[in-house]
């Protein structure tokens, strides 16, 4: 299975519009981060986790011709705002399967009412096939099984996903013991690390490193990064040897 980092930035992306912060002005391509998302693909199957405002640009950059579905972590705009741009996949294959918590589906139905409209649909409007994710209920994606991992983004419940020995968790601040159990034996873990300073709803760097030390994957990749974390090159040097700072357009094999 290949995991392609479509975006590794926090909600505003890097550079932040109008910012004069040195990281926002950096010329290093690894310091340019679109909104957080991954593309996972294997054999003939292809899924993305989240569909933020940079979705179109990301699909073009990754040259992702076919898509079998979108797994949503939660409803925040940096994870969902690109849903209108699934149309090229609809025109090729029909309604695109989406997988999300009931609460997230409600939010999408309110914000993208025209996508879910069943009568008098605008011709060419995006179309989806809805699949509800419930905690403790693994579900099929292609010929694999996705295990939902429920985490806390402050007070908001968010899903991460385990597929075989790979797990992707973003927007985590806390995680219950029962959910950590589900990560046992994971070889590659992706987890969010916002910045060095603590934050109310996201792991900071130390919290992410402590969590990685607890889960003990063979390797870990940090994502959902703010410009405040610093320059990619400098932060990367400070990390334990099995922990890597992800960057946009990085592809790994798991």
Based on the shown chain and the rule CB under 5 A, indicate whether residue 50 belongs to the binding site for Zn ion.
no
Instruction: State the number of binding residues for Zn ion (CB under 5 A).
Output: 2
Cβ–Cβ < 8 Å for 189, 179: no
> Could you give the CA distance from residue 54 to residue 85 in angstroms, rounded to a whole number?
10
Q: Of 23-31, 43-51, 63-71, 75-83, which part binds Zn ion (CB under 5 A)?
A: 75-83
If the CB atoms of residues 71 and 89 are measured against Zn ion, the closer one turns out to be 71
For the chain, counts of helices (H) and of strands (E): 8, 14
If the CB atoms of residues 30 and 173 are measured against Zn ion, the closer one turns out to be 173
Which segments within the chain are labelled E, that is strand?
2-7, 37-42, 45-49, 69-71, 96-100, 128-132, 139-141, 144-153, 156-163, 166-169, 188-192, 219-223, 243-245, 251-253
If the CB atoms of residues 81 and 96 are measured against Zn ion, the closer one turns out to be 81
Least Cα distance to 55 among 73, 75, 80, 92 occurs for 80
Based on the shown chain and the rule CB under 5 A, indicate whether residue 54 belongs to the binding site for Zn ion.
no
If the CB atoms of residues 31 and 50 are measured against Zn ion, the closer one turns out to be 50
Based on the shown chain and the rule CB under 5 A, indicate whether residue 78 belongs to the binding site for Zn ion.
yes
Q: Going residue by residue from 135 to 174, which x/- string records binding to Zn ion, judged by CB under 5 A?
A: ------------------------------------x---
Q: Given the rule CB under 5 A, which residues bind Zn ion?
A: 78, 171
């Amino acid at each position: 299975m290949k995991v392609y980092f479509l975006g590794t930035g926090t909600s505003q992306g890097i550079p932040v519009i109008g910012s004069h912060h040195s990281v926002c002005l950096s010329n290093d391509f690894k310091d340019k981060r679109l909104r957080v998302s991954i593309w996972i693909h294997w054999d003939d199957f292809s899924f993305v986790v989240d569909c933020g405002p940079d979705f179109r640009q990301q699909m073009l950059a990754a040259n992702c011709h076919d898509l079998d579905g979108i797994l949503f972590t939660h409803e925040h705009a940096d994870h969902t705002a690109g849903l209108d741009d699934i149309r090229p996949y609809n025109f090729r294959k029909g309604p695109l399967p989406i997988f999300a918590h009931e609460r997230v589906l409600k939010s999408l139905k309110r914000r993208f009412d025209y996508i879910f409209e069943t009568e008098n649909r605008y011709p060419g409007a995006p179309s989806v096939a809805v699949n509800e994710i419930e905690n403790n209920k693994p579900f099929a994606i292609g010929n694999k099984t996705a295990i939902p991992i429920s985490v806390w983004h402050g007070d908001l419940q968010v899903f991460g996903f385990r597929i075989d020995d790979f797990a992707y968790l973003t927007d985590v601040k806390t995680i219950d013991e029962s959910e950590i159990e589900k990560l046992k034996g994971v070889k590659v873990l992706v987890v969010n690390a916002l910045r060095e300073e603590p934050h109310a709803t996201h792991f900071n760097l130390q919290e992410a490193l402590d969590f990685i030390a607890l889960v003990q994957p063979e390797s870990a990749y940090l994502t959902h990064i703010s410009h405040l974390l610093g320059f990619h090159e400098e932060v990367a040097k400070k990390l334990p040897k099995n922990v890597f700072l992800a960057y946009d357009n990085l592809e790994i094999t798991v």
